[in-house]
Amino acid sequence: MDDPFAVVAGIPDPAAQAAAGVLSAAGLPVRVLDSTGPDEIAAVGANARALIVRGARVDADLLDRLPRLGLVVSVRPADVDVDAAEARGVWLAGPRKGESADRHASQALSLVLAQVRRVDADHCTLTGTPRGAHERTLGVIGMGRVGSRVARLAGPMFGRVVGTDPRAHPWRAPAERMDLDALLAASDAISLHVPLTDSTRALIDTATIARMRPGAIVVNLADHALVRREAMLTALHSGRIAGFGSGPTRPFDAHAAEPCPLRSHPSVLIAPDRPAKRRADHRIDHRLEDLSRLALNVVSWHRNGIPLDPAPRPA
């Protein structure tokens, strides 16, 4: 087995698999360890460049046994010997307490990446050639608080990130600006982050779908009325749209007790309904999103030389 680029240690499933999925989607080999023992981590990660860890003491001894390590992402930053890491030139990153916009952005990007992985698996089966997120263009419709965060998070992972928002003056979003038609034509995946207004109701309908790239992915964690359900279902059946991702079951609340062809379509992924879940499941959902963001620190560091949420470095 090839040496992993990153090791995920001490993090229980399904959170560990969420982190591993983000790294795999970015083309980075990863190994997941149940153990937090330094011997096990050193054995598996002898040539690893990044470590995502929970519950293990990352001290000078362990760092010396991981000579190629350049980044430690710790769920509990207090577990890391900051001075030892700094002396060895190792970056540190950890959880960041942010506003709900950060959480919504992470959830949206996780759903986009899940669809990319699913579509890529089908593409590889047919052609024998993988095509990851780094070869795709992500289009973000709506560059407000959530949309801008999605664009920033996606930057290290996608080959290109484009955005549109007629209300954004001046343009400060971390994405290439386009008008809506150009974005639809350029994007392999599209994430919706606009409020519901008269002009955005049924924004994604038969006409806009026809202007998208064949085989595009659409994710909508904003208002369900942005997407015309019948048009999306038709596009999924025909293959014009390769995958659709939605927020919890809110798009179908009015008919929640009835069978729903869109909700049950094999190319549709539905995000967990956190408000309706038990408290324990609510915490699990948060861990999945938090671990996805921690993994994005590794991708950002690999691509740009700096993690998304770097810990303060000693003076």
The answer to whether residue 168 scores a pLDDT higher than 60 is yes
DSSP label of 3:
P
6-10, 11-15, 186-190: least confidently modelled range: 11-15
Rounded CA separation 227/98 (Å): 29
What domains lie within the chain, and their CATH numbers?
6-94+285-304 (3.40.50.720), 100-271 (3.40.50.720)
Q: For residue 278, what pLDDT band results from cuts at 50, 70 and 90?
A: very low
pLDDT at 174 over 70: yes
* pLDDT one-digit tens code per residue, 70-122: 999 988 777 888 888 989 999 999 876 554 677 788 889 999 999 998 888 76
Mean pLDDT score, 193-211: 91
d(CA 142, CA 191): 9
Contact 95, 310 (CB under 8 A): no
What sign results for the dihedral spanned by CA atoms 92, 94, 99, 100? Answer: positive
| 226 three-state secondary structure | helix
Residue 231's CB is within 10 A of a number of other CB atoms, namely 19
Query: Which is higher by pLDDT, 188 or 10?
Result: 188
Q: Exposed/middle/buried for 166, CB within 10 Å: 0-12, 13-18, 19+?
A: exposed
Q: By CB neighbour count within 10 A (0-12 exposed, 13-18 middle, 19+ buried), where does 172 fall?
A: exposed
The candidate with the shortest Cα–Cα distance to 205, out of 247, 235, 181, 246, is 235
What's the rounded mean pLDDT across residues 155-178? 89
Q: Which helix (H) or strand (E) holds 120?
A: helix 100-127
How confident is residue 215, by pLDDT bands cut at 50, 70 and 90? very high
Nearest alpha carbon to residue 189 among 135, 254, 260, 123: 135
Contact 92, 72 (CB under 8 A): yes
Measure the CA–CA gap between 98 and 111, rounded to whole angstroms.
20
Q: What is the helix (H) or strand (E) element at residue 95, kind and residue range?
A: none
